[in-house]
Structure 1
C-alpha cells in the first residue's frame, strides 16, 4: 500500500469494525450475565472509537477513496477486525468471547505490521507502525484477560 488516502480508508474501516465488534461482544456478555467482561469490552470499544477518531483526524487533509465493502482487499477476504458473531449463542462463555476478540486484535496488528514492512511510503510506514503499536497494546490486554479466565 503506497497511497496515504487509501491506507487511511482501510484504517478507518478497520477501526469501525473493531468498535462495532467490541460493542457487540459487550452486549453479548451483558446478555449472558458477565458484567465484568461486558465492561472490559465496553472499554475496548471506547479505545477503538478513539483510534477511529484519530484515523479520521489524520484523513482531514486527504481525499479518501469512496470504497464499497467489495473494494477492500483484505487478507483472508474480510476486515481483520470483523469478528464473526456466528458463534454467539446462549451458551457463549467469557473465554470464547475473549478468544474471538484476541484473534481479531492479532489480525489487526498483523495487518498494520504488514503494511509497515511492505510500503515504500514513509508517512504510511510511520502511521502503520503507530497503529500496530496500539493494536499490540490491545493484544497484550486481551492476553491478560484470557489468562485470567483460563485460571478461573
Structure 2
C-alpha cells in the first residue's frame, strides 16, 4: 500500500506543478501580447503548450491511481509556488525573447531539481523511478532552451527603455 500512496501523492504534485506552469505561461503570454511584445508572448505560449503536453502525460500515468485531493497549503514545494511556475515579479512588459527564455530555463531547472529530490528521497521504488524520468525530461528541456538561447543575438542594452514620457497627473 505504501507504494501506491507515495506514487499517488507524487503524481498529485506533478499534476499541480504542470497545471500551474501552464496557467502561468498563458498569463505571461497574454500580458505580453497586450503590450505588443510578440516574440516573448509567442515563446510563453509555446511553453504553455509544452506544459500542457506534460500535464497530459502525467494524467495518463495517474489514470489508474486514486490521487489525494490536496489543498494549496498541502503541497510540499521547495518554495512558495510550484517549481515550474514563473514569477510575476520577473515579468517586464518589454522583456526580450532572451530574457523570457532565461526565465523559462530557470523554471525548467527548478522542476528538474524538484524531481531529482523526490527521486533521491522517496522511500518507494516506483516513485523514485517515475520522478527520475520526469527529472531527465526537464533536464532535456533545459538543454534545448540553452541551445535556443545560444542561437539568439545579444539583446540590445536599451530594450527596456521607455521611449514615451511618463503620463503623471498634474
**TM-score normalised by L of structure 1:** 0.85
- Structure whose CA Rg is larger: 2
Alignment of 1:57-96 (within 5 A): 57-96=60-99
**Partner secondary structure for residue 63 of structure 2:** helix
- Give CA deviations for 1:74-101 in whole Å, capped at 9, x if unaligned: 1123210121112323333323222221
Q: Is the 8 A contact 1:80 1:108 kept in 2?
A: yes
Counterpart for residue 138 of structure 1: 141
Say if 2:153 is the partner of 1:127: no
Say if 2:10 is the partner of 1:25: no
CA distance in 1, matches of 2:153, 2:13: 34
**Structure 2 CA distance for partners of 1:23 and 1:125, relative to 1, 3 Å:** same
Say if 2:164 is the partner of 1:147: no
CA distance in 1, matches of 2:60, 2:98: 35
Deviation at 1:70, TM superposition (A): 0.4
Decide which of 91, 100, 103 is 1:97's aligned counterpart.
100
Listed as ranges, the gaps of 5+ residues in structure 2 are 156-170
**Structure 2 CA distance for partners of 1:32 and 1:102, relative to 1, 3 Å:** farther
RMSD of aligned Cα (Å): 2.2
CA distance in 1, matches of 2:51, 2:79: 22
Counterpart for residue 114 of structure 1: 117
Listed as ranges, the gaps of 5+ residues in structure 1 are none
**TM-score normalised by L of structure 2:** 0.77
Q: How many pairs were matched up? A: 152
Say if 2:31 is the partner of 1:35: no
Moved over 6 A (4+): none
CA distance in 2, matches of 1:5, 1:106: 23
